[in-house]
Structure 1
Amino acid sequence: MSQLLHYEQDDQGIVTLTMDDQPTRNALTGSTMVDEFLAAFRRVEADPRVKVVIITGRGRAFSSGGNIDEMQRQQRPEFDGTVLRQEYRQGIQRLPLALYGLEIPVIAAVNGPAMGAGLDLACMCDIRIAAREAVFAESFVKLGIIAGDGGAWFLPRIMGMSRAAEMTLTGDPIDARQALEWGLVSRVVPTQDLLAEARRLAARIAANPGQAVRMSKRLLREGQQARLDTVLEMAAAFQAIAHKTAEHAAAVDEFMQRRAQRKKQPAA
């Protein structure tokens, strides 16, 4: 069986996951792609050296989303609504749950079209940067279906309800420039610079203490839906843990040493 997701790890603790199913333009369904993502996430979670994950695509597309051949298979009479519901629950819906629960920050480096579930995959990530040629579409309605992978949950939280509704109800694509204006991505770069820019951003994150980064991500996630008092209680618990880490102690000591050295310097 061919490998559809390549796993690469550098000495900074940055893992790059590259989708490589170019005949389907990196479709997420009708293949082992979701299973390979889940296996990669388990590997990431088990490795304390990993600090950041980058997800990107090989070829001209980030991801075409759902495989059309798979959609045609699902129209056969034996696949009634009950069977298809379970296919979604036990198939692609495992991906948003796994990504949402991943403590390690994830950057989507969108190298080309991100369509349907491909757009939703990018939205499942914490940060999105795009190549200038990238195109984004919540295109499900064009095929007479809906976002079965959580797009209706992720997209409004990123772009706001009005713009999310426009993309969802028209199914029309937007280019990278408009995606930047609408807050879907945080930066747009030349295609040839995309991975280098993603790795520079990942390195800036990886330079910080890993536990503080993981807890900060968790608080951001919880802050999207929990009450303020709940998030504050969680923040107090996380902060108590952070204050007792060796990384925090080292950072405070370094700061104090720099301050002492500045005080010793003669006034100009």
Structure 2
Amino acid sequence: MIETRSEGDVCHVTLARPDRRNALTPDGLDALARAVRGADEPVVYLSGAGSAFCAGADLDVVADLEDGRAFAERGQRTARAIEGAESVVVAGVDGPARGGGLEMALACDLRIATPEATFGEPGVGFGLFGAWGGTVRLPRLVSGADAADLSLSGRVIDAEEALRMGLVSRIVEDPETVAREVAENDHRALALTKKRLRDVSSSTEQETAEATAFAELIGRYERP
């Protein structure tokens, strides 16, 4: 499900489940965290195989969950592993980034979109919400109004609107070029700059509340 390869100063981490639009299972979340944490390169490039970045959580798994809190916390740990990695993590979003897929992108240091990228938090449409840190990170990246709109409407936005919101930094044909561009800089400076940019107050309490709310919803969830 998670493929890695090293190319110079960039570690490529690929969500490789294209038949399921790279939807994440519990094992996939753990493998993603290990891949990012284990990278020795100064830059990690996170992308999806096939026509999607990531559809989010595998809904077949979600439908059978007995412990919603544990699943939410597992996703949160993976997002924190991405956020806290020593490497600069660049998300190359090509195609849909939905739900948990968007949340993994939110945890990255840079989100670079192709013109075909789309973004959405559709959970409210079927009785859930983004509980892998989405309600914590999204309002930090975009305006409160935009965060509320995306989270409460469940609508999908294109790359241009994501750029306007500040959800992505650039729109390019090949996001990998940005990862290589970042890797050309001084590696120690990259690590220290990332550390300073990430020096914010703890979100642990917010994530605990998020997981609690998700656990309440999962008890009533039935796959549409």
Q: Which has the higher contact order (CA 8 A, sep 6+)?
A: 2
Question: Among 62, 85, 89, which residue is 1:71 paired with?
Answer: 62
Distance 1:87 1:120, change over 3 A: closer
Shift of 1:99: 1.2
CA distance in 1, matches of 2:89, 2:25: 21
Contact 1:141 1:169 in 2 (8 A): yes
Shift of 1:97: 1.5
Q: How does 1:1-268 map to 2 (within 5 A)?
A: 4-11=1-8, 13-29=9-25, 32-44=27-39, 47=40, 50-74=41-65, 79=66, 83-89=67-73, 91-189=74-172, 193-194=173-174, 198-222=175-199, 224-225=200-201
Q: Give secondary structure in 2 for the equivalent of 1:54.
A: strand
Contact 2:37 2:85 in 1 (8 A): no
CA distance in 1, matches of 2:176, 2:155: 30
Structure 2: runs of 5+ lacking an equivalent: 203-224
| TM-score w.r.t. length of structure 1 | 0.72
CA distance in 2, matches of 1:200, 1:148: 31
CA distance in 2, matches of 1:138, 1:63: 12
Measured on the aligned residues, the alpha-carbon RMSD in Å equals 1.5
Q: Give secondary structure in 1 for the equivalent of 2:22.
A: coil
Between Structure 1 and Structure 2, the one with more helix by share is 1
Query: Across the two proteins, how many residue pairs are aligned to each other?
Result: 202
Identity of aligned residues (%): 36
- Could you list the structure 1 runs, at least 4 aligned residues long, displaced by more than 6 angstroms after superposition: none
| TM-score w.r.t. length of structure 2 | 0.85
After TM superposition, the structure 1 stretch with the greater mean CA deviation from structure 2, 200-209 or 123-132, is 200-209
Deviations 1:113-144, CA, capped at 9 Å, x for gaps:
00011111111111111111111001111121
CA distance in 1, matches of 2:71, 2:99: 18
Q: Which has the larger radius of gyration?
A: 1
Contact 1:29 1:92 in 2 (8 A): no
CA distance in 2, matches of 1:154, 1:84: 20
Q: Give secondary structure in 1 for the equivalent of 2:130.
A: coil
Contact 1:106 1:127 in 2 (8 A): yes
Contact 2:42 2:86 in 1 (8 A): no
